Amino acid sequence: MGPCLCGDPYCPSCGPAQGNYRCYQCGAWSADGGCEDPDACAQADRDMAEAMAKEWEWEREHADEIERALREENYGNQRQEDRRD
């Protein structure tokens, strides 16, 4: 199935293709004047980016533990499937 082609300027897919963007923080559409408080939305964007960076750093620091846990989980799932056969 391809992209939406409804042409509605407020469609999440078609709107941006027509230059009508929606703020990720407050949900305001650019065609309606955009954010009421662009500074607050920009700060929320920075806060979200910082939180994601911290999460990625944690995942990098714990990659070995995460990988081991996933291997153990997959091993456990495989053993359950073997028992069903």
Q: Where are the domains of the chain?
A: 1-35, 37-85
Q: For residues 2 and 17, give the distance between their C-alpha atoms in angstroms, rounded to a whole number.
A: 14
pLDDT mean across residues, the chain: 87
pTM of the predicted protein model: 0.56
- ∠ CA 17-29-55 to the nearest 5 degrees? 85
Q: Tokens 């941006």 correspond to what residue?
A: 16
The reported pLDDT for the residue numbered 44 is 95
The reported pLDDT for the residue numbered 57 is 96
Residue 34, both tokens: 């955009």
Dihedral sign from CA coordinates of 54, 56, 60, 62: positive
Lowest-confidence pick of 4-8, 18-22, 60-64: 4-8
